[in-house]
Amino acid sequence: SKARVLVVGGGYGGATAAKYVRLLSDYRIDVVLVEPEPAFVSCPLSNLVLGGSRELADLTTPHGTLQSRHGVKLVRDSVSAIDPQKKTATLASGPTIAYDKLLLSPGVEMIWDSIPGLKQANASGQLLQAWKAGPETAALRQQLRAMPDGGVFAITIPEAPYRCPPGPYERACVVADYLKQAKPKSKLLILDANPDVTSKGPLFKKVWAQQYAGIIEYRPQHKAVEVDARSRTVRFEVQDEVKADVLNVLPSMRAGAIAVQSGLANSNKRWVNVNYLNFESTAAKDIHVIGDAIQVAPAMPKSGHMANSQAKVAAAAIVAELSGWEINPAPMLTNTCYSFVDAKNVIHVASVHEYVAAEKTFKAVHGSGGLSAAPNELEGTYAWNWARTIWADSLG
């Protein structure tokens, strides 16, 4: 009988892996993809929806081409349990699916209890994260539109590592751009648990000082420990509490719930340790994990581009093993991350990561990659082309 790869999660990592297992096996290996969402909605570029220059529809791609063009079997459900001994996964609706190889790319889960009050505030719709693109993104946009001129928008950032290191700083810029035009008396506070801006720091700081002087204020070393939704107040470990009209509190994050529940999150009970040669979990044989859920190697960001790149390494390893091929992999991963500083102007950072056998980890290749000199519109065009290309690569 045919070998079967079961993929859990149809985001940047999982969709790419599902497609590439089919391609690399010449369509010999069956692939089943379990994903509860009706369509893929990109987190990259979703900050523009908050800023008001784009809509969620611009970021949405159906999963259907994976099935119609590549023969991936799509199952609209979520996996609620995994049995690594029997090599089966149970769907929330009840049935069990057997696998030869399981590939998980479940993304991140918010650690709600790291900030008391936050979970209830999210459930009631009062304090939103919008750290997964979708209905929360649209709802946070509505809060922003309803904010009075002269109001305060505050975003809190958890200690690294979290999904998308530059994402909160990009969000601050794009929201400030909207405020500058629509509500110019307003303020935007960045309350960062980290000691400094963790990605593209000097570039962001220059934009805040020049383009958003009097609007954006950056406060490092602000670790949120409690929220009060009614008074829209956030309290910190050390610093004074802050009240805002719109409060966007990002708590600490860990691997998606299914990885944590299955005992795979063996790094600090947060992330999944993997063998970087094939992305197999160190906790369970024949379970491969990619994307935001893994414990990253040094200098490796939790990004969509990285998840897409890891997916190809994992897919190649899985196909080789199921086909009985001897391979001697020496994987390389790439990353490019564009950040909008307003609706049009963009900065980027890029890097190449090479597997170093002697240290069993990935390291950034010295002299590879690069960084923008300053925000510019041409990179805005590149950013959209990057997105269209990666969506086509993952889902087309």
Q: Looking at 5, 63, 66, 106, which residue binds ligand FAD (CB under 6 A)? A: 106
Q: Which is nearer to ligand FAD, 64 or 148 (CB)?
A: 64
The reply on whether position 46 binds ligand FAD by CB under 6 A is yes
Q: Which is nearer to ligand FAD, 194 or 239 (CB)?
A: 194
The CA distance from 278 to 176, in Å, is 42
Q: Which is nearer to ligand FAD, 218 or 391 (CB)?
A: 391
Q: Which two tokens stand for residue 138?
A: 């649209």
The reply on whether position 11 binds ligand FAD by CB under 6 A is yes
Q: Which is nearer to ligand FAD, 35 or 245 (CB)?
A: 35
Cβ atoms of 30 and 2 closer than 8 Å? yes
User: What residue number has its CB nearest to ligand FAD?
Assistant: 11
Cβ atoms of 349 and 299 closer than 8 Å? no
Of the candidate spans 29-37, 114-122, 240-248, 359-367, the one that interacts with ligand FAD by CB under 6 A turns out to be 29-37
Q: Looking at 63, 232, 270, 305, which residue binds ligand FAD (CB under 6 A)? A: 305
Q: Looking at 307, 318, 347, 349, which residue binds ligand FAD (CB under 6 A)? A: 307
Of the candidate spans 146-154, 159-167, 226-234, 264-272, the one that interacts with ligand FAD by CB under 6 A turns out to be 159-167
Q: Looking at 5, 6, 10, 272, which residue binds ligand FAD (CB under 6 A)? A: 10
Q: Looking at 13, 117, 161, 375, which residue binds ligand FAD (CB under 6 A)? A: 13
CB of residue 117 to ligand FAD, shortest distance in Å = 22
CB of residue 290 to ligand FAD, shortest distance in Å = 7
The reply on whether position 218 binds ligand FAD by CB under 6 A is no
Binding mask 257-296 for ligand FAD (x = CB under 6 A): -x--------------------------------xxx---
Q: Looking at 117, 158, 167, 375, which residue binds ligand FAD (CB under 6 A)? A: 167
Q: Which is nearer to ligand FAD, 296 or 317 (CB)?
A: 296
N-to-C CA span, the chain: 28
Q: Which is nearer to ligand FAD, 239 or 261 (CB)?
A: 261
CB of residue 158 to ligand FAD, shortest distance in Å = 12
How many Cα atoms sit within 13 Å of 216 on the Cβ side? 28
Burial of 106-115, coded b for 16+ CB within 10 Å and e otherwise, reads: bbbbbbbebb
CB of residue 372 to ligand FAD, shortest distance in Å = 13
Q: Looking at 4, 102, 121, 131, which residue binds ligand FAD (CB under 6 A)? A: 131
The CA distance from 233 to 159, in Å, is 20
Q: Which is nearer to ligand FAD, 25 or 46 (CB)?
A: 46
Q: How many CB atoms lie within 10 A of CB 269?
A: 11
The CA distance from 66 to 49, in Å, is 26
The reply on whether position 35 binds ligand FAD by CB under 6 A is yes
Integer angstrom CA distances of residue 344 from 33, 57, 137, 199, 383: 35, 18, 19, 20, 10
Exposed / middle / buried, residue 124 (Cβ in 10 Å: 0-12, 13-18, 19+):
exposed
The reply on whether position 349 binds ligand FAD by CB under 6 A is no
Q: Which two tokens stand for residue 346?
A: 């963009």
Cβ atoms of 291 and 259 closer than 8 Å? no
The CA distance from 158 to 168, in Å, is 10
Q: Which two tokens stand for residue 392?
A: 């086509």
Instruction: Give the interface with ligand FAD as residue ranges (CB under 6 A).
Output: 8-14, 34-37, 43-44, 46-47, 78-79, 105-107, 131, 163-164, 167, 256, 258, 291-293, 302-305, 307, 337-338
